[in-house]
Amino acid sequence: MSLKLVVGSKNYSSWSMRAGVAMLHSGVAYDEIVIPLGQSDTHEAIARYSDAGLVPILIDGEQTIWDSLAIIEYLAETAPEGLIWPADPAARAMARSVSAEMHSGFGALRREQPMNCRRRYDNFALGEEAAKDAARICALWRDARNRFGQPHGGDYLFGDFSGADAMFAPIVSRFVTYGVPTDAIADDYIAAMMGQPALRSWMDSAQQEPIIPRYEFD
């Protein structure tokens, strides 16, 4: 498999993180192209690879796949040994459902808590709608862990690491950055994710990137 993954700045691009973590976990070989965000030529640089004008983008020969969830599904089909989705049908159905909800929802939390792997904010107060988003996310994690994670002895939402965990990786990063209060199950899950090798590798790389002032706030 000859692959290229085009991503935005690793410290700030939550959608890129999702695809990047899934790719790293899958173990497939690929070349990575990082396009810094917020620059005068960012849009032009991304448009060289996809007319959608958004990252991430996976290129497999003549095939172009854009959008994190589509990339995760492509990996599940082309590199199934990476165990992108749970083997159990009920767990797999729920994993896809929570991933789709993550893909399309939680807009208030995304707006109030832009991803920034390097930063830590004390006493960050969420607005009402963002707080509802955070509560819903914790409820999803709790349900998945109680039904499918803990019974199978794994540390992640459905036992072993899956595409659902990749989809929630930027939320884990945000909860750490902004000190979002969570319950015991969420705390354990966040701790496991922060030690997960693929996510750790991505975040270590993010630490080395230049700061982009327009994406920083106090």
Q: Calculate the alpha carbon distances from 31 to 2, 19, 63 in Å.
A: 8, 13, 15
With tokens 């659902």, the residue in question is 164
State the average pLDDT over residues 115-144: 96
State the average pLDDT over residues 84-102: 96
Is a pLDDT exceeding 80 seen at residue 61? Answer: yes
What pLDDT score was predicted for residue 44? 96
Model confidence band, residue 21 (pLDDT cutoffs 50, 70, 90): very high
| Residues 154, 205, 167, 8, Cα dihedral to 10° | -170
Selected residue with higher pLDDT from 1 and 67:
67
What pLDDT score was predicted for residue 151? 80
Assign residue 121 a region (left: φ > 0; alpha: ψ between -120 and 50; beta: otherwise).
beta
Is a pLDDT exceeding 70 seen at residue 196? Answer: yes
Is a pLDDT exceeding 70 seen at residue 1? Answer: no
What pLDDT score was predicted for residue 123? 87
